[in-house]
């Protein structure tokens, strides 16, 4: 506001000065023309002007006339304006006998000297008398008709500039009054406009204060983005959303780290305590009869505890390396069909009575719309197993880590499901309309899996999309509750609250599997098997260059069958 007020004052002063100078120059120019054009008329009517001047108080006759001879000596001053109260205005002119460089025909301005005879003097008379004069010097020649003599001289004719000063004074007062009124009005209107314009900024200030107090959920009120304030609000809201997300992720990471350290300490403390306890027990009983047999038993328990601790430390090391982006090489070629077939072979060796079926994965209802013609929502599409031969699928990735993913899934099936419950293991390449989505950033939930299935439906209707390798491993065991499925990929999580270790689990297998899949920019989800059980779905994107190689490989593999891809002859 101060800057606006100063600009208004400066602008008004400049305009007033320019107008004053313009009017002054115009009046002086008219006065000069009047002096030049009416010089002869004034000289010829000196008698009448003298008579009028002597019989009027303020006649408006402001002419001054002085005659000088050829040597510039003063001969007479026939016309000196007299004002009310016998106020006389006498011009300051060069002394007798000199013109002091005055040029003939060039008007000039000179000051006045006021002479007061007697009596009271009005302010208006003094003002008129003190006004400057505009004077012009003219040469004249007079010829005597009787003698024929020629007389030469100089006439100094002056006209008061009182009218100019009066006009300039009126203009100055007018500009002063109008300028003050304009500045006051502009200041009031500018204050209202600025306050109204800055109101969103005040809201932003209040929001920033709340955010500074720790409330990161606050957002700046929105405004039209075609304005500066609106653009600022949108940028601030975007920045605040990212800051809030970063703080939330940092808080979650901190909580996970605390829980991870606590769980790791708990898991490591148990085998260490067992080793220490059995070592102490051996020392206590080594001098008693039968110490050799008890020593063998203690050493066996120590070995089991150390083996468990070594496996736990190895899993922790694997997780730490993958969190740092190390311990995994994505520049290799991984044959997923071979990994799935080998894992099925391992599970069959562990549980010979378990029925294992190999095949592909398809999406039921991929060609049907999401909504029926009558507006009713149709049965949602889902992934289903299709028994048959494993199709050859090769992707760019780390085969050792991908094998570890399937091995961990198979290990969970072996530990937590009955040995005679059937298992389906499917592998296929599906096209989904997710060209710019990084599956590794999506949460491992049913919502993400449904989003992928819907993208498969869209790709099926449009005929375009990106190819993804989909591995589906489904068991028909006891399954898990929805709450447990949401936590299955957390580190050290086990569905058994008592943390029973007779089954050999550390609670890190699924966390390692998730880290490995995310490193491949893929998605792993745990969902309920239709009819009961648990289904793991692994989705990994296939690069375009690998897709062309895969097509050629499929044509070659159609002539021969890999023995490791055959369906296992197992018991029903």
Q: Predicted confidence band at 278 (pLDDT cuts at 50, 70, 90)? A: confident
Query: Nearest Cα to 84, choosing from 111, 56, 62, 60?
Result: 56
Tokens of residue 81, six digits = 């304006």
Task: Tell me if residue 147 falls in helix, strand or coil.
Answer: coil
Find the mean pLDDT for residues 59-70: 75
Find the mean pLDDT for residues 30-51: 78
The phi and psi torsions of 178 (rounded to 5 degrees) equal: -65, -40
Q: Do the beta carbons of residue 492 and residue 506 sit within 8 Å?
A: yes
Query: Nearest Cα to 109, choosing from 146, 57, 168, 160?
Result: 160
pTM for this prediction: 0.53
At residue 189, does pLDDT exceed 90? Answer: no
Predicted pLDDT at 452: 92
At residue 91, does pLDDT exceed 90? Answer: no
At residue 407, does pLDDT exceed 60? Answer: yes
At residue 194, does pLDDT exceed 50? Answer: yes
Which tops the pLDDT comparison, 497 or 253? 253
| Region for residue 428 given its phi and psi (left: phi exceeds 0; alpha: psi -120 to 50; beta: otherwise) | beta
CA distance 349 to 356: 11
* Sign of the alpha-carbon dihedral angle for 278, 281, 287, 293: negative
Checking 42-46 for CB contacts under 8 A at 24+ apart, the result is: 42/79, 42/157, 43/140, 43/155, 43/157, 46/78, 46/79
Task: Tell me if residue 341 falls in helix, strand or coil.
Answer: helix
Mean pLDDT of the chain: 79
Predicted pLDDT at 56: 45
Tokens of residue 68, six digits = 């000088």
Find the mean pLDDT for residues 512-536: 91
At residue 402, does pLDDT exceed 90? Answer: yes
CA–CA distances in Å: residue 188 to residues 166, 185, 200, 233 = 33, 5, 20, 27
Tokens of residue 40, six digits = 């002869």
At residue 503, does pLDDT exceed 70? Answer: no
Predicted pLDDT at 66: 87
Predicted pLDDT at 497: 46
At residue 13, does pLDDT exceed 70? Answer: yes
CA distance 210 to 205: 9
């Amino acid at each position: 506001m101060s800057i606006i007020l100063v600009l208004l004052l400066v602008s008004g002063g400049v305009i007033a000065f320019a107008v004053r100078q313009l009017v002054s120059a115009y009046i002086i120019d008219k006065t000069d023309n009047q002096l030049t054009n009416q010089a002869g008329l004034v000289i010829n009517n000196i008698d009448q002007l003298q008579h009028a001047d002597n019989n009027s108080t303020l006649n408006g006759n402001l002419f001054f006339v002085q005659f000088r001879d050829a040597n510039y000596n003063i001969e007479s001053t026939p016309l000196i304006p007299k004002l009310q109260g016998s106020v006389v205005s006498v011009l300051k002119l060069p002394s007798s006998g000199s013109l002091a460089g005055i040029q003939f025909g060039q008007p000039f301005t000179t000051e006045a000297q006021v002479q007061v005879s007697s009596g009271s003097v009005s302010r208006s008379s003094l003002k008129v008398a003190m006004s400057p004069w505009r004077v012009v010097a003219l040469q004249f020649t007079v010829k005597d008709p009787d003698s024929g003599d020629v007389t030469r001289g100089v006439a100094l004719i002056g006209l008061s500039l009182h009218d100019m000063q009066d006009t300039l004074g009126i203009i100055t007062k007018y500009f002063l009054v109008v300028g003050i009124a304009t500045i006051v009005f502009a200041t009031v209107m500018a204050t209202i406009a600025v306050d109204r314009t800055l109101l969103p900024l005040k809201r932003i200030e209040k929001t920033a204060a709340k955010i500074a107090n720790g409330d990161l959920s606050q957002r700046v009120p929105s405004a039209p983005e075609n304005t500066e304030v609106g653009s600022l609000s949108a940028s601030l809201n975007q920045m605040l959303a990212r800051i809030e997300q970063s703080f939330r992720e940092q808080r979650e990471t901190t909580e996970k780290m605390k829980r991870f350290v606590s769980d790791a300490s708990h898991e490591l403390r148990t085998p260490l305590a067992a080793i220490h306890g059995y070592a102490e027990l051996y020392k206590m009983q080594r001098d008693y009869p039968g110490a050799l047999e008890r020593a063998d038993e203690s050493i066996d328990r120590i070995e089991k505890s150390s083996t468990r601790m070594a496996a736990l430390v190895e899993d922790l090391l694997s997780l730490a390396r993958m969190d740092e982006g190390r311990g995994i090489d994505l520049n290799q070629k991984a044959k997923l069909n071979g990994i799935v077939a080998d894992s099925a072979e391992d599970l069959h060796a562990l549980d010979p009575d378990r029925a294992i079926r190999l095949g592909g994965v398809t999406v039921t209802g991929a060609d049907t719309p999401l909504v029926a013609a009558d507006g009713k929502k149709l049965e949602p599409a889902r992934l289903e197993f299709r028994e048959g031969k494993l199709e050859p699928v090769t992707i760019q990735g780390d085969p050792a880590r991908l094998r570890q993913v399937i091995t961990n899934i198979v290990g969970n099936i072996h530990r937590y499901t009955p040995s005679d419950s059937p298992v389906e293991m499917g592998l296929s390449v599906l096209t989904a309309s997710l060209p710019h989505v990084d599956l590794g950033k999506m949460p491992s939930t049913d919502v993400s899996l449904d989003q992928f299935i819907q993208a498969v439906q869209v790709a099926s209707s449009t005929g375009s999309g990106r190819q993804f390798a989909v591995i589906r491993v489904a068991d028909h065991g006891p399954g898990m509750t929805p709450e447990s499925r949401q936590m299955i990929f957390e580190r050290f999580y086990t569905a058994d609250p008592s943390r029973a270790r007779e089954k050999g689990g550390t609670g890190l297998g699924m966390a390692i599997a998730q880290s490995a899949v995310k490193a491949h920019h893929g998605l792993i989800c745990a969902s309920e098997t239709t009819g009961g059980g648990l289904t793991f779905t692994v989705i990994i994107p296939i690069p375009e260059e690998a897709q062309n190689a895969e097509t050629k490989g499929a044509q070659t593999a159609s002539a021969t069958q890999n023995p490791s891809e055959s369906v296992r002859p197992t018991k029903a």
